[in-house]
Amino acid sequence: MITVSNISKQYESVKALTNISFSINDNEIFGLIGPDGAGKTTFMRLLTTMLLPDNGLIEANGFNTVSDYKKVRNIIGYMPGRFSLYQDLTVEENLNFFASVFNTTIEQNYDLIANIYKQIEPFKNRVAGKLSGGMKQKLALSCALIHKPEILVLDEPTTGVDAVSRMEFWQMLKRLKMKGITIIVSTPYMDEASLCDRVALIQNGQILKIDTPENIIKSYPKYLIAVNAKNKYKLIHDLRKYKNSSSVFAFGSSVHVTFKNNNTDIDELKNFLISEGNVEIDINIAQPDIEDCFMELMKAEKNE
Amino acid sequence: MKKFLSFIKKEFLHIFRDVRTLIIIFGIPIAEILIFGFAINTDIKDARIAILDLSKDATTQQITNKLLSSGYFMLETHLQTSDQIEEIFRAGRVKEVIVFEQNFAKRLEAEGKADIQLILDASEPNTANILQGYTSNIIYTYVNELNNLLPQNIVINSTVRMQYNPGMKSVFMFVPGTMAIILILISALMTSVTITREKELGTMEVLLVSPLHPTHIILGKVTPYLVLSFINVISILGLAYFVFGLPIKGNLFLLIAECLLFIFLSLSLGILISTVSKTMQQAMLISMIGLMMPSMLLSGFIFPVENMPDILYYISFAMPPRWFIEIVKDIMIKGSGLQMVWEETLILIGMTLFFIAMSIRKFKIRL
């Protein structure tokens, strides 16, 4: 259990986190979702005792991250945002080094990393700097897990990794969760949010919402439609002109639109678009996902 | 302890995998010592000299002939009075003036001893030193020859006067000086760079989050350089002794202990630099400009401290190499014991403790 109470952190003139409080349950995958500069990394560095908070208190499994930082460091596995292993050492040397730093051996906790390590084992004599992105990430994860941490903190582990490796990575996280590890993961990819047990949406150092992905989607307040037309640029432009539209943004291959009032007539919208000269118009009711929710929450925040 | 050992092993792997580091650690010291060494040992041929012969007898003529036939000297001119000495040096026409006293042969016969004065242009200290050595040697050989023939022994006293740089400060300076520079280079520069490298690559973050104690991180980073610096000290001393025939008159163990002390000092300086700099470049700049340059210019390695303007002279007090060079010179060349160099040693110990205390104060256990 990780409890965060009234945490604030400021870098010179920039407020990175403003008075946030929440808790993370044992044995869950907790996602921090937000754009770059939202404060995700700052939070992770506070949790891993790398930074001191200006205000407030974080307790990781009962240990204060400021006064008991040594104990916290023993129970936490941390994988920083960029590849932070020794590029001039081989895969095996890196693993052995981190194992001995944590007073353990590869063999001792092999069952924990076996799944991941098996995939990079064929390259164990290659220097880490010459591995591919996905391989580096697996090695970094192995190194972070080598001491069987109770809490695993991953800062944007999937940034810059291909889609297949990303999927594999999330499957690994699911397996690690089964072994009883609490996982805190940050990502700028909204589609990964639905893979977490709970997510916190962060923006400008503040938490907009914390809930399960399902609940966040369920609580989406608006009526959402997906529109398609031949000329998408013109379509977005025209939709924004429409008197009743509230938000218009490109989403995948179509355009997602919300309205100022929820009983908007779709036919009326279609006629409006035809009159503006759009062709091949296709309008469907869309299921909102995390990204829609995030956009809406950000918008609400801005309007306040 | 196992943690610590594997950290040191990792550090050695870094060093041995990086060719550039290896060159800096082993190539530069050897190259530097050889360059300085051979630059100082260059043979001098046909050096122009002037002779002021106030006696003009058979013996002085014989000595003059010996000198000129040696191949090292070429007679520029005979001087008539001692007033001309200053003049001919000023004109830069000669490197050395040899003065035979009045009644040279007579005194030698009557009292068994006579005086020769050797005056050298010491603005080029190395040349002056070598010329003086040659001259003294030739005179000495001559006296030996005579002594074998004569019933009673005679003595020719040669007094040496160095014009312009009376202390001959840079003679034999190259070994203590280069040693100081190399130790600063390897210990301070390399450690500060290797520690900041961890910061720059982000591995410091991972190390700090681990249960590894920050002291262990630093000691682990520093120990390999302690070992390598020590190997360098031994090889420099070896080169100086076997290749250049530099004497080690004092106690070898005292000398090595003083070198170790200076290595500790440089390492603590390196740690201090690494704690205040965020990137490798910054560490390198601070080490190069803030450390190497003053160490070379203000330590007495290149310019004698005594000849410095007052301000620079006082600044040189703060330069660790200045004291180290003095210690090494005293032990190697003068054969002094600890009782002669304890003050300098205490200064170095004080500086080391100061730098260590500063680094501990500045070291961050967090980002």
Kindly determine whether residue B7 and residue A101, on different chains, have CB atoms separated by under 8 Å.
yes
Kindly determine whether residue A73 and residue B209, on different chains, have CB atoms separated by under 8 Å.
yes
* Residue A82 sits at the chain B interface (C-beta within 8 Å): yes
CA dihedral (B59, B61, B66, B72) positive or negative: positive
- How far apart CA B315 and CA B169 sit, in angstroms, is 19
In the prediction, which pLDDT does B257 show? 93
- How far apart CA A89 and CA A139 sit, in angstroms, is 12
Taking only the tens place, the pLDDT of each residue in A70-83 is 899 889 999 988 87
- pLDDT tens, N- to C-terminus, chain B (367 residues): 788 888 899 989 988 888 888 888 888 888 887 777 676 555 567 788 899 988 888 888 888 888 888 878 888 888 888 888 888 887 778 888 989 888 888 888 888 888 888 888 877 666 777 788 888 888 888 888 888 877 777 777 777 776 655 544 444 667 788 888 888 888 888 889 999 998 888 888 888 888 888 888 888 889 999 999 999 999 988 888 887 777 788 889 999 999 999 999 999 999 999 988 888 889 888 888 888 888 888 887 777 677 678 888 888 888 898 899 888 888 887 778 888 889 999 999 999 999 999 888 887 777 6
Compare CB distances from B13 to A49, A80, A89 and report the shortest one's residue.
Answer: A89
Nearest CA in chain A to B204: A84
- CA A240 to chain B, closest CA, distance in angstroms equals 45
* Residue B206 sits at the chain A interface (C-beta within 8 Å): yes
B364 contacts in chain A (CB < 8 Å): none
Bridge partners of B93?
none
More confident residue, A181 or A222: A181
In the prediction, which pLDDT does B173 show? 62
B202 contacts in chain A (CB < 8 Å): 80, 82-84
Nearest CA in chain B to A152: B209
* Residue B15 sits at the chain A interface (C-beta within 8 Å): no
Compare CB distances from B203 to A49, A51, A85 and report the shortest one's residue.
Answer: A85
- How far apart CA B158 and CA A175 sit, in angstroms, is 91
In the prediction, which pLDDT does A304 show? 61
Tell me the ipTM for this assembly: 0.76
Structure tokens at A70: 């040594």
Bridge partners of B78?
B51
Mutation choice for B interface testing from A41, A76, A86, A127 by most B CBs within 10 A: A86
- CA B236 to chain A, closest CA, distance in angstroms equals 30
Classify A56 as helix, strand or coil.
Answer: strand
Backbone angles phi, psi at A101, to 5 degrees: -60, -35
Q: How many residues does chain B have?
A: 367
Residue B286 is given by DSSP the state: I
For chain B, what is the radius of gyration of the CA atoms?
27
More confident residue, B42 or A44: A44
- CA B364 to chain A, closest CA, distance in angstroms equals 10
A44 contacts in chain B (CB < 8 Å): none
In the prediction, which pLDDT does B180 show? 87
Distances (CA, A) of A218 to A189, A207, A260, B102, B201: 20, 19, 19, 119, 43
A87 contacts in chain B (CB < 8 Å): 201
Kindly determine whether residue B211 and residue A101, on different chains, have CB atoms separated by under 8 Å.
yes
Taking only the tens place, the pLDDT of each residue in A242-267 is 888 888 888 878 888 888 777 777 88
Cα three-residue angle A82-A88-A93, rounded to 5 degrees: 95
- CA A88 to chain B, closest CA, distance in angstroms equals 7
Residue A14: how many CB atoms within 10 A of its CB? 11
Compare CB distances from A102 to B205, B210, B367 and report the shortest one's residue.
Answer: B210
Kindly determine whether residue B202 and residue A50, on different chains, have CB atoms separated by under 8 Å.
no
Q: How many residues does chain A have?
A: 304
- First-to-final CA distance of chain A: 33
Highest-pLDDT range among A4-13, A218-227, B18-27, B285-294: A4-13
Mutation choice for A interface testing from B13, B18, B22, B210 by most A CBs within 10 A: B210
* Residue B367 sits at the chain A interface (C-beta within 8 Å): yes
Q: CB within 8 A of A202, min separation 6: which ones?
A: A32, A33, A34, A38, A39, A40, A43, A208
In the prediction, which pLDDT does A14 show? 85
* Residue B20 sits at the chain A interface (C-beta within 8 Å): no
A98 contacts in chain B (CB < 8 Å): 206, 210
A78 contacts in chain B (CB < 8 Å): 205-206, 209
Classify B164 as helix, strand or coil.
Answer: coil
Q: What domains can be seen in chain B, in order of their start residue?
A: 47-163 (3.40.1710.10), 169-366 (no CATH)
In the prediction, which pLDDT does B330 show? 82
Compare CB distances from A70 to B2, B203, B211 and report the shortest one's residue.
Answer: B211
Kindly determine whether residue B210 and residue A101, on different chains, have CB atoms separated by under 8 Å.
yes
* Residue B245 sits at the chain A interface (C-beta within 8 Å): no
Structure tokens at B262: 């200076």
- First-to-final CA distance of chain B: 25
In the prediction, which pLDDT does A200 show? 92
Average of per-residue pLDDT values in chain A: 87
B18 contacts in chain A (CB < 8 Å): 88
- How far apart CA B94 and CA A149 sit, in angstroms, is 80
Kindly determine whether residue B206 and residue A50, on different chains, have CB atoms separated by under 8 Å.
no
